[in-house]
Amino acid sequence: MDNFIYHNYTEIVFGKGTEQQVGELTAKLGKKVLLHYGGGSIKKFGLYDRVVTALQAAGVDFIELGGVQPNPRLSLVREGISLCRREGVDCVLAVGGGSAIDSAKAIAMGVPYDGDVWDFFGANRKAAPKTVLPIGVVLTIPAAGSETSNNSVITNEDGWMKCGGSSPMVRPQFAILNPELTYTLPFSETANGVADMLAHVLERYFADTEAADFTDRLCEAAMRSILYLGPQVKRDPDNYNIRANLMWAGCSAHGGYLGVGRGTRKGREGDWGSHAIEHPLSAHYGIAHGAGLAIMFPAWMKYVYRAHLPRFVQFAQRVFDVDLPMEDPDAIVLEGIRRLEAFFKQMDLPVRLSEVGIDDAKFVEIAEQIAPVGMFHKLEQEDIIAVYRLAL
Amino acid sequence: MDNFIYHNYTEIVFGKGTEQQVGELTAKLGKKVLLHYGGGSIKKFGLYDRVVTALQAAGVDFIELGGVQPNPRLSLVREGISLCRREGVDCVLAVGGGSAIDSAKAIAMGVPYDGDVWDFFGANRKAAPKTVLPIGVVLTIPAAGSETSNNSVITNEDGWMKCGGSSPMVRPQFAILNPELTYTLPFSETANGVADMLAHVLERYFADTEAADFTDRLCEAAMRSILYLGPQVKRDPDNYNIRANLMWAGCSAHGGYLGVGRGTRKGREGDWGSHAIEHPLSAHYGIAHGAGLAIMFPAWMKYVYRAHLPRFVQFAQRVFDVDLPMEDPDAIVLEGIRRLEAFFKQMDLPVRLSEVGIDDAKFVEIAEQIAPVGMFHKLEQEDIIAVYRLAL
């Protein structure tokens, strides 16, 4: 078990009707807030009006910036930074899913910084934030876990680089999670979210630290719960309890609790190779991040498992109840991966690149751009290409 | 699943050598700290010297108050409050286990309060703290989970009332957890800690909220890990990884994460009847809290399980792998309870009051004093007496 620091200070306000508290919670953050959101859905379903009413009732001055796209873009982040500086904004409120939150975090990092905000992003970051504007969140999509996480993923349109930036300071001060807000999500978005949260646990589970039994078991329990909840929400999308458990699962999966003591001696929890391999796909081809993970994680597993056989056997046995004879551990692992793919298919997610119209045209270029990836299993350029080929 | 607020802001600094950071962390809390601890063990094993050296190196002014006893006493809390006021102390550092931390929390609540600190304790508390001194912790015993919890348990020598007081403000600002510090614990203290942490999960697991699947599974995973770790630490007490997992299990068991969404609509997570039934035993008879829980929890289960059969069947099946035929659910539950008792026995813990020399002399008096108890299963005076009798 590795040394670690765990400091997730986000106040999580969870449950029915909790968005009504956004005014009083935001009032604690500052005097003038940037209300940051995506497309029209929060207006269509009335959430926008409720948030504005709550802010006004609490006497919070605000300006707004909508238009956050999936795979949120650097250009809008820069626009937000300029706007906040011009208007004297001192805190940011994201209303939406992971994209709105990640964009809000990048703005919060950029406003007090003299240089360019992109300095904080990418594998070879030029700088770390010294101070950030405080951030609040009203979450509408259970998926990314950005509502309490310490990082943000932004796409730079110049070269379509999709990169992460992290800092202990970008965890939101509060996160409001009302599962009722997720009833209106199309199933495909819910399914993408399920793949994303499962991947967040998987990335932490596959780490090169032995003997982190407590964290292992929490991860396995979290994955089993997500595997149970996914098909339930497909069958019964208006079931509050299923929606609520799924929303809490998405938050937990990326808040850090499920990664403590495992892989933390290298400064971050887990592997993150599959995320690194997926990011250029969603950046270049515009596929959903969750769909890309459903394709790439099984391929990654097939490529790396032989080097970590006991760990993958434990995964197949404890998470997927594979009870094949121990005399053939490869068969146990491959059955586990098969069940993972079967789960994604049940969620109507793709499990091959061909299903989303991606061929091998950019494999070499992308692999060169991102290599090496992975903390648990390091993949060089040729390995990354091989993983992409396994996913065709 | 219930609405909840989860806000555990404690910075957890975990791992080898981490007590070296106590100076810089304490310096952030205030200008003058009360160093609060128990008996001689922290001096005997050199921890006291290392803490003092770190405080001095960070330029932190301090005074000290030792002498905290197991089942920490109100008289020492009052002495600490007077001392802090007289000396202008503005923060408290506990070095020790749950008793030192609980005593430090009570002092931190009492110093800025005009009335008597006992107002904050007991089922019918007279007041809630409006402000508390910031608290830091160096943990030496994995057990109580007080290092990140929102409560404190103090014994009032006037009547030997052992009562809890809770507030969102008494979570420590930081908690240093170095598993190496636990090597020197006698096995009996480790075993008491194991019983205590298991009980903290059990209290949260048995709550009257349905459909909290994610939290359920995390609780089950945590219990399975504790059941695995307990006998390991008996066999191999100097194994760092076992000690580390156990320390993190104890912290997690009472930090609140394993209770979210379950029973929280009544303002606290879980049942807590077994704790309420145990507290007077340790207060009156001086037995260890963990030992008392090992006796009382199985008795409580035997008394209440028929009213909650599906929940107890799930417990027996998922936590203890009981695979008896479903046609006799009582047999499944009773086998689960039998395995729980067998685990406590394996840890050299008592499972009957007669083993610790307690007879039925005070049952009526105690039951009258504490009734009713339990949020999941309410027990009146006669029920409490019946549970005590089952434990004879």
What pLDDT, in 10s, does the model give residues B309-343? 999 999 999 999 999 999 999 999 999 999 999 99
* Of residues B206, B194, B203, B205, the one with CA closest to residue B272: B203
Cross-chain Cβ contact A4/B14 below 8 Å: yes
- Residue B172 contacts residue B148 (beta carbons within 8 Å): yes
A9: nearest CA in chain B?
A: B9
Question: H or E segment at B37?
Answer: strand B32-37
List the strands of the sheet with A61-65, edge to edge.
Answer: A61-65, A32-37, A91-96, A135-139, A174-177, A11-14, B4-6
Residues from chain B that touch A169, judged by Cβ atoms under 8 A, are none
Would you call A257 and B257 a contact, using CB atoms and an 8 Å cutoff? yes
- For residue B292, give every residue at least 6 positions away whose Cβ sits within 8 Å of its Cβ, in sequence order, or none: B278, B281, B282, B356
- The confidence band for B123, taking pLDDT boundaries of 50, 70 and 90, is confident
The pLDDT score that the predictor gives to residue B268 is 61
* Sequence-separated contacts (24+) of A378-387 with Cβ below 8 Å: A378/A273, A379/A273, A379/A277, A379/A303, A379/A304, A383/A303, A384/A277, A386/A303, A387/A277, A387/A296, A387/A299, A387/A300, A387/A303
Prediction pTM value: 0.96
Distance from CA of B220 to the nearest CA of A (A): 8
Residue B266's pLDDT is: 59
CB pairs under 8 A between A and B: 129
pLDDT at B377 over 90: yes
Quick one: how far is CA B199 from the chain centroid?
Answer: 8
pLDDT at B188: 97
How far is Cα B178 from Cα A325, in angstroms, rounded to an integer? 40
Among A2, A4, A5, A6, most B C-beta atoms within 10 A, so best to mutate, is: A6
Cβ–Cβ gap B228/A213 under 8 Å = yes
Pick B213's closest partner by Cβ from A6, A215, A245: A245
Judge: A248–B215 Cβ closer than 8 Å, yes or no.
yes
pLDDT of residue A266: 59
* pLDDT at position B109 over 60: yes
Mean pLDDT for chain B? 96
Q: Give the count of beta carbons closer than 10 Å to the beta carbon of residue B211.
A: 16
Q: What percent of chain B has pLDDT over 90?
A: 93
Chain B environment of A228 (Cβ under 8 Å): 213
**Does the distance separating the beta carbons of B6 and A12 come in below 8 Å?**
yes
Residues in chain B within 8 Å Cβ distance of A254: none
B245 contacts on A by Cβ (under 8 Å): 1, 211-214, 261
Range list of H helices, chain B: 22-27, 41-44, 47-57, 74-87, 98-110, 187-205, 213-235, 240-255, 273-285, 289-304, 309-320, 329-346, 363-370, 381-390
Yes or no, beta carbons of B217 and A222 under 8 Å apart? yes
Point out the residue among B8, B16, B221 whose CB comes nearest to the CB of A220: B221
Question: What is the distance between the alpha carbons of residues B295 and A385, in angstroms, rounded to a whole number?
Answer: 59
pLDDT at B223: 98
- Best interface-test mutation with A: which of B173, B178, B214 has the largest number of A CBs within 10 A? B214
Give the closest of A2, A8, A211 to B15, CB-based.
A2
Cα-Cα end-to-end distance for chain A: 37
Is the pLDDT assigned to residue B210 strictly greater than 90? no
For residue A36, CA distances in Å to A30, A155, A195, B246, B302 come to 15, 17, 25, 43, 54
- Residue carrying structure tokens 């910075």: B11
The answer to whether A237 touches A348, Cβ cutoff 8 Å, is: no
What are the pLDDT tens digits along chain A (392 aa)? 999 999 999 999 999 999 999 999 999 999 999 999 998 889 999 999 999 999 999 999 999 999 999 999 999 999 999 999 999 999 999 999 999 999 999 999 999 999 999 999 988 899 999 999 999 999 999 999 999 999 999 999 998 888 999 999 999 999 999 999 999 999 999 999 999 999 999 999 998 888 999 999 999 999 999 999 999 999 999 999 999 999 999 999 999 999 999 876 655 668 999 999 999 999 899 999 999 999 999 999 999 999 999 999 999 999 999 999 999 999 999 999 999 999 999 999 999 999 999 999 999 999 999 999 999 999 999 999 999 999 99
Q: pLDDT per residue over A91-143, tens digit each?
A: 999 999 999 999 999 999 999 999 999 999 988 899 999 999 999 999 999 99
Give the pair of three-digit tokens for residue A268: 């971050």
pLDDT of A4-37, one tens digit each? 999 999 999 999 999 999 999 999 999 999 999 9
Of the candidates A302, A253, A259, the one whose C-alpha atom is nearest the C-alpha of residue A277 is A302
Nearest Cα residue in chain A from B6:
A12
Of A4, A13, A214, the CB nearest to B5: A13
Query: What's the first-to-final CA gap in chain B, in angstroms?
Result: 37
What count of other Cβ atoms lies within 10 Å of the Cβ of residue A255?
24
**Confidence (pLDDT) at A263:** 73
Cis amide prior to A372 (ω within 30 degrees): yes
A302: distance to nearest CA of chain B, Å?
Answer: 27
Q: Which residues in B have their CB inside 8 Å of a CB on A?
A: 1-16, 18, 210-218, 220-222, 224-225, 228-229, 240-242, 244-245, 248-249, 252, 257, 260-261
Contacts of A10 in chain B (CB under 8 A): 7
Query: Would you tell me the crossing angle of helices A98-110 and A74-87 to the nearest 10 degrees?
Result: 50
* CB-based contact B228 A244, cutoff 8 Å: no
Q: What is the DSSP string of B49-110?
A: HHHHHHHHHTT-EEEEE--PPSS-BHHHHHHHHHHHHHHT--EEEEEESHHHHHHHHHHHHH
Mean pLDDT, rounded, for B67-95: 97
> Where does the pLDDT of residue B208 fall: very low under 50, low under 70, confident under 90, or very high at 90 and above?
confident
Of A1, A11, A252, nearest to B7 by CB-CB distance is A11
Mean pLDDT of B180-195: 96
Position A27 scores a pLDDT of 98
Q: Give Cβ neighbours of residue A368 (< 8 Å, ≥ 6 apart).
A: A381
